[in-house]
Amino acid sequence: MDINNFSSILESKRRRYIKKKIEKYVSLGFSKSEAINKANQSWRAYIGSQIQNVIYDFISENLPAETLKITTDKILRSKNLPQELEIIKRLIAINYGEYFFLPDADIVIYKKCESGHLKVIAIISIKNSFRERGFETTYWKLKLSESEVTSHIKVYLATPDKDDEIGYTKKVNNPSKMRIILEYELDGIYFLKEDFEATQKAKHFSKIIDDILQIAQENC
């Protein structure tokens, strides 16, 4: 998939998916309005995992496998992890007294240092839209910053921003409160679309590989 054309590919896929689902629900006896609502709900559930798969594949294909590795919080929540991933899990866990939780880390990037020890260098949170849990990523960034063990970890946000909630291309001089806070608190926002207001921290997703390689050189 051409990551530079992701937004238009996604929209084309959405139209085909919605049309097919509406036809299915109507054939099952739902009214047209009910079918449309159910189709949209189904798309929102479906697209979240699809976007993560696209991003995971793009990053894993473009990072040097001999020095940088990639995993997900879904994998890290599995039982009977191999020793390496068990270490990574502990390296990003956040302490709440007697409890430990993993942050919202859809993708985790780590490296093995020359000394042999492992170091997490970045986590990527993926959001299709921001109507729900918009500030969840900033919360985890702040929690990671509280500990010397995790404060070095970069926290990035990747999004197609399908509703232009933080791209603010139509209101250049008036960014939303969410865009201001996300850009201020996070280490980078990466858009999977062409039409957005770029800054030093807000970039096209294709730039994320260069940024990861840069921080990888600075770690260990």
Residues of the chain with pLDDT under 70: 1-5, 7, 131-133, 169-173
CB atoms within 10 A of CB 207: 13
Provide the pLDDT for residue 208.
93
Measure the CA–CA gap between 75 and 86, rounded to whole angstroms. 10
What confidence tens digit (pLDDT) does each residue in 39-75 have? 988 887 787 778 888 889 889 988 998 889 999 999 9
Structural domain span for residue 194: 65-218
Number of domains in the chain: 1
Residue 52's pLDDT is what? 85
Give this prediction's pTM. 0.84
Confidence (pLDDT) at 54? 83
Exposed e or buried b per residue across 26-35, where buried means at least 16 C-beta atoms within 10 angstroms of its C-beta = eeeebeeeeb
Residue 45 lies in a domain: no
Cα separation values, 178 from 7, 130, 133, 153, 183, Å? 21, 9, 11, 22, 8
Give the CATH number, domain containing residue 160: 3.40.1350
In a domain, 38, yes or no: no
Cα-flanking dihedrals φ and ψ of residue 169, to 5°?
A: -70, -25
